[in-house]
Amino acid sequence: MKNLSVILILSIIMFLGGCGSSQLSDKYSEQVLKESTEEIISYLNNENFEAIVDRTQENLKNQLTVEVLQEAWSNFDDIGEYDSISKMVFQEKDNIATVIALAKYSNRDIQYTISYNTEMELVGFYLK
Protein backbone atom coordinates (compact mmCIF):
# COMPACT_ATOMS: atom_id res chain seq x y z
CA MET A 1 0.00 0.00 0.00
CA LYS A 2 2.86 2.36 0.83
CA ASN A 3 4.43 1.71 -2.60
CA LEU A 4 1.13 2.52 -4.29
CA SER A 5 0.97 5.85 -2.41
CA VAL A 6 4.50 6.74 -3.47
CA ILE A 7 3.72 5.88 -7.11
CA LEU A 8 0.53 7.92 -6.99
CA ILE A 9 2.34 10.96 -5.53
CA LEU A 10 5.12 10.70 -8.12
CA SER A 11 2.53 10.42 -10.89
CA ILE A 12 0.75 13.55 -9.69
CA ILE A 13 4.05 15.47 -9.47
CA MET A 14 5.01 14.37 -12.99
CA PHE A 15 1.57 15.32 -14.31
CA LEU A 16 1.68 18.77 -12.72
CA GLY A 17 5.26 19.32 -13.88
CA GLY A 18 4.29 18.38 -17.41
CA CYS A 19 1.40 20.80 -17.39
CA GLY A 20 3.60 23.66 -16.28
CA SER A 21 6.03 23.22 -19.15
CA SER A 22 3.41 23.71 -21.84
CA GLN A 23 1.09 26.29 -20.32
CA LEU A 24 0.76 29.52 -22.19
CA SER A 25 -1.24 32.60 -21.37
CA ASP A 26 -4.00 33.75 -23.69
CA LYS A 27 -1.44 36.04 -25.36
CA TYR A 28 -0.10 33.06 -27.31
CA SER A 29 -1.54 30.22 -29.32
CA GLU A 30 0.29 26.91 -29.17
CA GLN A 31 -0.75 26.21 -32.77
CA VAL A 32 0.58 29.57 -34.03
CA LEU A 33 3.85 29.03 -32.14
CA LYS A 34 4.15 25.53 -33.60
CA GLU A 35 3.55 26.73 -37.17
CA SER A 36 5.94 29.66 -36.77
CA THR A 37 8.67 27.42 -35.37
CA GLU A 38 8.24 24.92 -38.20
CA GLU A 39 8.51 27.79 -40.67
CA ILE A 40 11.69 29.19 -39.06
CA ILE A 41 13.30 25.73 -39.08
CA SER A 42 12.30 25.34 -42.74
CA TYR A 43 13.91 28.70 -43.55
CA LEU A 44 17.11 27.57 -41.89
CA ASN A 45 17.10 24.19 -43.62
CA ASN A 46 16.74 26.01 -46.96
CA GLU A 47 19.36 28.58 -45.95
CA ASN A 48 16.82 31.39 -46.33
CA PHE A 49 18.56 33.48 -43.67
CA GLU A 50 16.99 36.75 -44.84
CA ALA A 51 13.51 35.41 -44.04
CA ILE A 52 14.63 34.70 -40.47
CA VAL A 53 16.11 38.17 -40.08
CA ASP A 54 12.85 39.64 -41.42
CA ARG A 55 10.96 37.86 -38.60
CA THR A 56 13.29 39.28 -35.92
CA GLN A 57 12.31 42.10 -33.58
CA GLU A 58 13.55 45.38 -35.07
CA ASN A 59 16.01 46.29 -32.29
CA LEU A 60 17.70 42.86 -32.58
CA LYS A 61 18.22 42.84 -36.36
CA ASN A 62 21.71 44.31 -35.98
CA GLN A 63 22.66 41.30 -33.82
CA LEU A 64 20.90 38.50 -35.72
CA THR A 65 22.13 39.23 -39.22
CA VAL A 66 22.31 37.06 -42.32
CA GLU A 67 26.07 36.76 -41.77
CA VAL A 68 25.64 35.63 -38.16
CA LEU A 69 23.10 33.01 -39.21
CA GLN A 70 25.31 31.77 -42.06
CA GLU A 71 28.26 31.39 -39.74
CA ALA A 72 26.21 29.62 -37.07
CA TRP A 73 24.61 27.28 -39.61
CA SER A 74 28.03 26.39 -41.09
CA ASN A 75 28.82 24.68 -37.77
CA PHE A 76 26.03 22.20 -38.52
CA ASP A 77 27.14 21.06 -41.98
CA ASP A 78 27.42 17.45 -40.79
CA ILE A 79 23.78 16.97 -39.71
CA GLY A 80 22.57 15.38 -42.91
CA GLU A 81 19.08 15.58 -44.34
CA TYR A 82 16.18 17.00 -42.35
CA ASP A 83 13.61 14.42 -41.28
CA SER A 84 11.09 15.87 -38.83
CA ILE A 85 10.45 17.60 -35.55
CA SER A 86 10.18 14.91 -32.93
CA LYS A 87 9.19 17.07 -29.96
CA MET A 88 8.11 20.60 -29.09
CA VAL A 89 7.77 22.16 -25.65
CA PHE A 90 6.14 25.55 -25.08
CA GLN A 91 6.98 27.88 -22.21
CA GLU A 92 6.19 31.45 -21.32
CA LYS A 93 7.92 33.83 -18.98
CA ASP A 94 7.77 37.63 -18.76
CA ASN A 95 5.51 37.85 -21.84
CA ILE A 96 8.03 35.92 -23.96
CA ALA A 97 7.03 32.55 -25.38
CA THR A 98 9.82 30.05 -25.95
CA VAL A 99 9.55 26.95 -28.08
CA ILE A 100 12.09 24.20 -27.64
CA ALA A 101 11.99 21.95 -30.70
CA LEU A 102 13.99 18.78 -31.24
CA ALA A 103 14.58 18.29 -34.97
CA LYS A 104 15.74 14.99 -36.38
CA TYR A 105 18.30 14.91 -39.17
CA SER A 106 19.85 11.85 -40.81
CA ASN A 107 23.15 12.16 -38.91
CA ARG A 108 22.14 13.83 -35.63
CA ASP A 109 19.50 15.91 -33.91
CA ILE A 110 19.44 19.65 -33.30
CA GLN A 111 17.68 21.38 -30.44
CA TYR A 112 16.21 24.72 -31.46
CA THR A 113 15.24 27.24 -28.80
CA ILE A 114 13.19 29.98 -30.42
CA SER A 115 11.62 32.83 -28.46
CA TYR A 116 8.84 35.16 -29.57
CA ASN A 117 7.33 38.37 -28.28
CA THR A 118 3.56 38.89 -28.33
CA GLU A 119 3.78 40.22 -31.91
CA MET A 120 5.35 36.87 -32.92
CA GLU A 121 8.68 38.50 -33.71
CA LEU A 122 11.84 36.54 -32.93
CA VAL A 123 13.56 37.73 -29.76
CA GLY A 124 15.77 34.67 -29.25
CA PHE A 125 17.22 32.01 -31.54
CA TYR A 126 19.61 29.28 -30.40
CA LEU A 127 20.84 26.00 -31.87
CA LYS A 128 22.64 23.14 -30.20
Asked if residue 77 is part of any domain, the answer here is yes
For residue range 28-50, list pLDDT tens digits in order: 999 999 999 999 999 999 999 99
**pLDDT of 71 strictly over 70:** yes
CATH number of the domain that residue 37 is part of: 3.10.450.590
| Range of the structural domain that residue 61 is part of | 24-127
Asked if residue 15 is part of any domain, the answer here is no
Report the first-to-last Cα separation within the chain, whole angstroms.
44
Asked if residue 17 is part of any domain, the answer here is no
Verdict on whether the full-model pTM lies above 0.75: yes
Asked if residue 89 is part of any domain, the answer here is yes
| Cα–Cα distance, 54 to 66 (Å, whole number) | 10
For residue range 84-104, list pLDDT tens digits in order: 999 999 999 999 999 999 999
Per-residue pLDDT at 46 = 96
Selected residue with higher pLDDT from 45 and 8: 45
**pLDDT of 22 strictly over 90:** no
Asked if residue 113 is part of any domain, the answer here is yes
Domain count, the chain: 1
| Cα–Cα distance, 24 to 91 (Å, whole number) | 6
